[in-house]
Structure 1
Amino acid sequence: MASTPNGLAVEIVDRIAHVTLDRPERLNALSTGLIAELIEAFDRFSADDDVWAVLLTGRGERAFSAGIDLKEMNEADQSQRAPTLPMRGVQRNVFEVILECTKPVVAALNGVAVGGGCEVALACDIRFAADHVRIGLPEAKRGLGANFGCQLLPRLIPRGIAYELLYSGELISAEQAQRWGLVNRVMPADVLMEQATDFCRQLVANAPLTLRRYKAMIGKGAELPLAAALRLHVGPNPYHSEDRAEGVAAFLEKRPPVWQAR
């Protein structure tokens, strides 16, 4: 799987888009070039009929991503270029683009996920972590803001714990992250990619329109009153789809269904 000069590798195999942050010498830090390519890739996945799920990881065992490239940020400061504010500028926010990808997104955390790297992980739907991983938002130690993390984190875990993580800026272990619900599964590093890939294969064996409907309904209904959320009609409609008829027929005929995503 070849990488771009900015350090992004993408390969689509059996309807799974394998995405790798490939800057191990910089702990897979998010440069402006890498961010731009991530935005383009995830925007493309939403419309790509060949992609039914996305698996995102980093190169090496040291880091999933160390976050925003602070060396690049310091160089911009030295040249007195004004930094781009969160949710401003000419391109979409990378965390928002990953969050809103219409396909299921699984993160395989192969190493530390800190700062913007943690926010990338939080933007994914499901997180698997190697047992040596540490995760957190140390922005309070750097004078940064964790704009995405401070909004999403208290939607995923109790508010008091979110305050603790944000205020302290300390990193937590994979086991602690699992106890708090920030990661789904923790496993030895040598089986991480195998298990994450197997899980994605399970996802693409299910009805694709149903999974996309789940993602849209959960994303748009989570903050609504239940009565309003039950009346949402977002994402593809599986009830009137060819796949729904195929799923019922396959069950009755005792055979695997052949999904068409329509």
Structure 2
Amino acid sequence: MNNGPHEHDPVLLRTEGHAAHITLNRPEALNALTHPMALHIDRALAAWEKDPAVETVVIGGAGERGLCAGGDIRAIHSDASTGGAASAEFWRDEYRLNARIARYPKPYVALMDGIVMGGGVGISAHGSVRIVTERSRVAMPETGIGFVPDVGGTYLLSLAPGELGTHLALTGAPVGAADALLCGLADHFVPSSALPSLARDLATESVHAVLERYVAQPPPGQLATARPWIDHCYAADTAEEIVARLRAADAPAAKEAAGTLLAKSPTAVKVTLSALRRARGLGPLERVLEQEYRVSLTALSCPDLVEGIRAQVIDKDRDPRWSPATLDAVGPADVERFFAPLGDRELRLPAASSPEVAW
């Protein structure tokens, strides 16, 4: 798939020996993912899947700041203000890509160096070989813009030990390498300085042989020692009770988490909590992506998404005016409507067995 890429193309494709490489190439926008980029990656993966010369796929980001900060939310803000049709099509194709990555029959090596958020998690954390570094900052920060974790984020976080995933989803808190490993968002720690040579070695060696040389112990994380208060507080039935438990906990970090949670969109917080708990019983990733598509399309018609992006990204005043403004003003019916069937607009993904990836 060496098609003579230009250095300014938003996605660069190349092959080196047995390895095919995808590089997100919008460093000025922290490699934010657009609809054309998602389609480009999907086509490349489809072609490489059938190419016997390609044994391994490697995805990384251009620049020094990160793999991908998420979807292009400026475009979503503009589109949501005019009906949201383009965003709906983007998410349909993006979620299909997430499912393809999760079922990819060849080793899919994600270099999760630097910032990996939102859509960046979707193109990395579903892969079979997920590598974090001392610079990794992994997060699903959607509640801060009036949105709900998508790209299979509610699936991944619902599988994290105890209530760690609930904590990360509701607060949007980023985690480093050790905590990403603990939460099941990554598989291996490799120092960032070693990534170039690791990628080069994949041209001639198997993933297993290469990893044996490069995998190391990450710096200590924070979540393991916080499990007692996290598991107790976030096991509550409602968002209001979660906040009450956080405020009553002895740990200063718990009280800080309460303040963080209360700054997020109340609607997004309650819908996220419900989405996570429903995800635990839905089965494979594809069913959860279908649920996320319903939630995402409903969010397009809600004021908090446009307002949240305005406050955080457009005007950057960091002072969103949520509607409703408090958790207790968001009733059960307000949450339930996010999960209503979409009729002929439903996303329908064929569920497949996880591939037997030979290393």
TM-score (norm 1): 0.70
**One-letter identity of the residue aligned with 1:50:** A
Partner residue, 2:34: 31
Q: Distance in 2 between matches of 1:88 and 1:27?
A: 19
Question: Is the CA contact 1:3–1:22 (under 8 Å) kept in the aligned structure 2?
Answer: no
Partner residue, 1:172: 175
Question: Is the CA contact 1:63–1:112 (under 8 Å) kept in the aligned structure 2?
Answer: yes
**Fraction of identical pairs, as percent:** 25
Partner residue, 2:153: 149
Residues 1:76 and 2:79 aligned together:
yes
Match of 1:21 among 2, 20, 24: 24
**CA deviation after TM superposition for structure 1 residue 94, in Å:** 1.8
Q: Deviations over 1:22-64 (max 9, x none)?
A: 1101100001111111111112221112211111100011010
Residues 1:99 and 2:102 aligned together:
yes
**One-letter identity of the residue aligned with 1:9:** L
In structure 1, the gaps of 5 or more residues are: 207-221, 224-232, 239-262
Q: Deviations over 1:77-136 (max 9, x none)?
A: 244343544897578622112222211101112220001111221111111122111001
Q: Deviations over 1:178-217 (max 9, x none)?
A: 34443233333222232244357432688xxxxxxxxxxx
**One-letter identity of the residue aligned with 1:42:** L
Question: Is the CA contact 1:6–1:33 (under 8 Å) kept in the aligned structure 2?
Answer: no
Question: Is the CA contact 1:105–1:125 (under 8 Å) kept in the aligned structure 2?
Answer: yes
Residues 1:119 and 2:122 aligned together:
yes
**CA deviation after TM superposition for structure 1 residue 6, in Å:** 5.0
Q: Distance in 2 between matches of 1:205 and 1:171?
A: 29
Give the 3 Å change call, closer, same or farther, for CA 125–175 of structure 1 in structure 2. same
Give the 3 Å change call, closer, same or farther, for CA 87–24 of structure 1 in structure 2. closer
Partner residue, 1:191: 194
Secondary structure of 1:172's counterpart equals coil
Secondary structure of 1:122's counterpart equals coil
TM-score (norm 2): 0.52
Give the 3 Å change call, closer, same or farther, for CA 99–4 of structure 1 in structure 2. farther
Q: Distance in 2 between matches of 1:165 and 1:120?
A: 18
| Structural RMSD (CA) | 3.0
Task: Specify which structure has the higher proportion of strand.
Answer: 1
**One-letter identity of the residue aligned with 1:158:** P
Give the 3 Å change call, closer, same or farther, for CA 120–235 of structure 1 in structure 2. closer
Question: Is the CA contact 1:130–1:186 (under 8 Å) kept in the aligned structure 2?
Answer: yes
Partner residue, 1:260: none
**One-letter identity of the residue aligned with 1:137:** M
**CA deviation after TM superposition for structure 1 residue 161, in Å:** 1.3
Partner residue, 1:66: 69
Partner residue, 1:244: none
Q: Distance in 2 between matches of 1:98 and 1:196?
A: 19
Q: Distance in 2 between matches of 1:145 and 1:205?
A: 36
Question: Is the CA contact 2:141–2:171 (under 8 Å) kept in the aligned structure 1?
Answer: yes
Secondary structure of 2:135's counterpart equals coil
Greater RCO (Cα-Cα under 8 Å, separation 6 or more): 2
Partner residue, 2:237: none
Task: Specify which structure has the higher proportion of helix.
Answer: 2
Question: Is the CA contact 2:165–2:183 (under 8 Å) kept in the aligned structure 1?
Answer: no
Q: Distance in 1 between matches of 2:96 and 2:116?
A: 18
